[in-house]
């Protein structure tokens, strides 16, 4: 896939007060999101990342339960994408990962993410 200039990734998105859109598939009115600070979103993601990296849980299981992105219904899978299709920080982080690697916290206008490169 890399030869075609595309990567494949899954992610867990936690939206917060500073997110561009303050609603999600699991919080349609945005009540939880409006009361979530960026710091608490980052803390939650760091704890989830630790559980994934330590092997306690599978990335897709946590994505299904905790991600504010509708990709949660697919275990966080975003499918393949190329450069220019995602927000710049997300794209740079994803292209910088090796397949199977999990990113540190990535900030975008959508919220905070951890990314698993899958292809």
β-partners of residue 82 are: 6
Q: Is the pLDDT of residue 2 over 50?
A: no
CATH class (in words) of the domain with range 2-117: alpha beta
pLDDT at 4: 64
Query: What mean pLDDT is predicted for residues 4-14?
Result: 94
Domain boundaries, the chain: 2-117
Backbone angles phi, psi at 13, to 5 degrees: -110, 130
Predicted pLDDT at 22: 93
71, 77 Cβ separation under 8 angstroms: yes
pLDDT tens-digit profile of 73-101?
Answer: 999 999 999 999 999 999 999 999 999 99
Catalytic residues: 11, 69, 87, 110, 113
Tell me, what's the pLDDT at 60?
Answer: 98
Give the model's pLDDT for residue 14.
98
List Cβ neighbours of 14 (8 Å cut-off, separation of 6 or more): 36, 41, 42, 44, 45, 66, 67, 68, 111, 112, 113
Q: What is the mean pLDDT of residues 58-72?
A: 97
């Amino acid at each position: 896939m890399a030869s075609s200039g595309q990567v494949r990734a899954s992610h867990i998105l936690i939206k917060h007060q500073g997110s561009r859109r303050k609603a999600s598939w699991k919080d349609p009115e945005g009540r939880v999101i409006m009361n979530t600070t960026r710091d608490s979103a980052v803390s939650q993601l760091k704890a989830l990342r630790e559980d994934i990296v330590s092997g306690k849980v599978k990335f897709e299981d946590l994505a299904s339960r905790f991600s504010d992105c509708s990709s949660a219904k697919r275990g966080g899978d975003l499918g393949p994408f190329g450069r220019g299709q995602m927000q710049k920080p997300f794209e740079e982080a994803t292209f910088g990962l090796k397949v199977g690697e999990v990113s540190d916290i990535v900030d975008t206008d959508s919220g905070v993410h951890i990314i698993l490169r899958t292809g």
